Amino acid sequence: MGTLKVKDRDGLIHELNAKSGSTIMEIIRDAGLDIEAACGGCCACATCHVYVTNDKIQKLKLIDDDEESMLDQAFSVLNNSRLGCQIEYSDDLDGMELTLAPE
């Protein structure tokens, strides 16, 4: 168990409980925050676009071709852009800070 800090589109920060085995998208969606995740998490849309805003980004697996090309359908893509469905939470990501991308 750990915590994710997620900033929503109104700038509010939510501390979410995170359990290993879930993806970041699932944790954000199940907490009731506004993340569309239209395809349900199979990397077939870009509606779970998030920014990773602290140094936990270095703990993540590098972005693969699938995720990179789905990000082409996202808006305002930055160097710290990721798709939430492609990041599986594990305890070394405890304390990760994220911001929901605009839509």
Question: Footprint of other proteins on this chain (CB under 8 A)?
Answer: 36, 38-40, 42, 44-47, 68-69, 71-77, 102-103
Among residues 40 and 95, whose Cβ is nearest to other proteins? 40
| 34 closest CA partner among 9, 1, 60, 11 | 9
Nearest distance from residue 84's CB to other proteins, in Å? 16
Nearest distance from residue 36's CB to other proteins, in Å? 8
Among residues 17 and 69, whose Cβ is nearest to other proteins? 69
Query: CA gyration radius for the chain?
Result: 12
Q: Are 39 and 27 in contact (CB under 8 A)?
A: no
Dist. CA 7–CA 73, nearest whole Å = 22
Among residues 1 and 32, whose Cβ is nearest to other proteins? 32
Nearest distance from residue 40's CB to other proteins, in Å? 7
Q: Where are the alpha helices (DSSP H) in the chain?
A: 24-30, 65-71
